Amino acid sequence: MAEVKVEIRTANGQPVGSFKDPLIEMLPEHHYFITGKFYEPDGKAAERLDFNPQVLPYVADISAVSQCNHKKLVGVYVQRGRQPVRMTGTCEL
């Protein structure tokens, strides 16, 4: 089975890193939790992620794992900064 990758970027497109084979939960509809091993843009496993402030939400490409018709999450925030990293986000409307 192919590796599933969820890319995380800043709102202006700068790479933050990626999840490889994350656990994806949709609770409630169009609100997602992404949990798993997080890697920095250079491919190294992140030791710790800083919490991003509400004024700087991330964007996530969930096209490989989406449970709805949306392919992108907006308003993505770090909920747990140590491995396994956990983020939350909502579908782009």
Q: pLDDT over 90 for what percent of the chain?
A: 70
- Hey, what are 59's tokens? 């964007």
- Cβ neighbours of residue 67 closer than 8 Å, sequence gap 6 or more: 24, 26
Q: Does residue 75 surpass a pLDDT of 70?
A: yes
Buried b / exposed e over 33-55, threshold 16 CB at 10 Å, is ebbbebbeeeeeebeebeebeee
Mean pLDDT (whole number) for 23-48: 92
Q: Does residue 12 surpass a pLDDT of 70?
A: yes
Q: Does residue 16 surpass a pLDDT of 70?
A: yes
How many domains does the structure of the chain reveal?
1
Cite the beta strand spans of the chain per DSSP E.
5-10, 15-20, 23-26, 31-36, 38-39, 58-61, 72-80, 85-91
Distance CA 38, CA 44 (A): 9
Tell me, what's the pLDDT at 26? Answer: 85
pLDDT band of residue 61 (cuts 50, 70, 90) is very high
* Residue ranges making up the domain that contains 26: 5-91
- Hey, what are 89's tokens? 């986000």
Mean pLDDT (whole number) for 29-36: 91
Q: Does residue 67 surpass a pLDDT of 70?
A: no
